Amino acid sequence: MKTTVEIPDQLFREAKTAAASRGLSLKTFLTEALKEKLSGPRRRRGDWPVPPPKLAEGEVRRIQSTIDGEFSKPENDIWIASQCRQHRLPVASRDGHLDKVHGLKRVSW
């Protein structure tokens, strides 16, 4: 497939020089470079935090309703438990009542 891509002049010169020094065409060099980049790890440290997964419509309300029904504690605890459960994260807390929430992992310190 043919395409047009704009890259900085200096980067183009470096790529062309690197390709020539390896005895490759620029097309082959860039194809290999793209394949290598795409096959590597998808997540870099700069990608944190990971965006939350997309939930089906009504899923947040269903999760919240389940949590509300499983224990009655201050509203902040319910909200925190809901967020941690929705994003599949542990909650760091000394409050043992959070252990009653199905699907929520509590980490104590």
Residue 98: pLDDT band by 50, 70, 90 thresholds?
confident
The predicted structure's pLDDT at residue 32: 92
User: For residues 109 and 107, what is the distance between their CA atoms, to the nearest angstrom?
Assistant: 7
Please write the tens of the pLDDT for every residue from 35-51: 888 886 665 556 666 66
Buried b / exposed e along 52-82 (16+ C-beta atoms within 10 A): eeeeeeeeeeebbeebeebeeeeeebbebbb
**Helix, strand, coil in percent for the chain, rounding step 5:** 55, 5, 40
Instruction: Give 27's pLDDT tier (boundaries 50, 70, 90).
Output: very high
pLDDT at residue number 49 = 65
Dihedrals phi, psi of 75, to nearest 5 degrees: -60, -35
Contact status, residue 64 vs residue 81, Cβ threshold 8 Å: no
**Average confidence score pLDDT of the chain:** 81
pLDDT at residue number 67: 73
Mean pLDDT of 67-82: 72
Mean pLDDT computed over 9-26: 91
Residue predicted with more confidence, 58 or 10:
10
CB atoms within 10 A of CB 90: 11
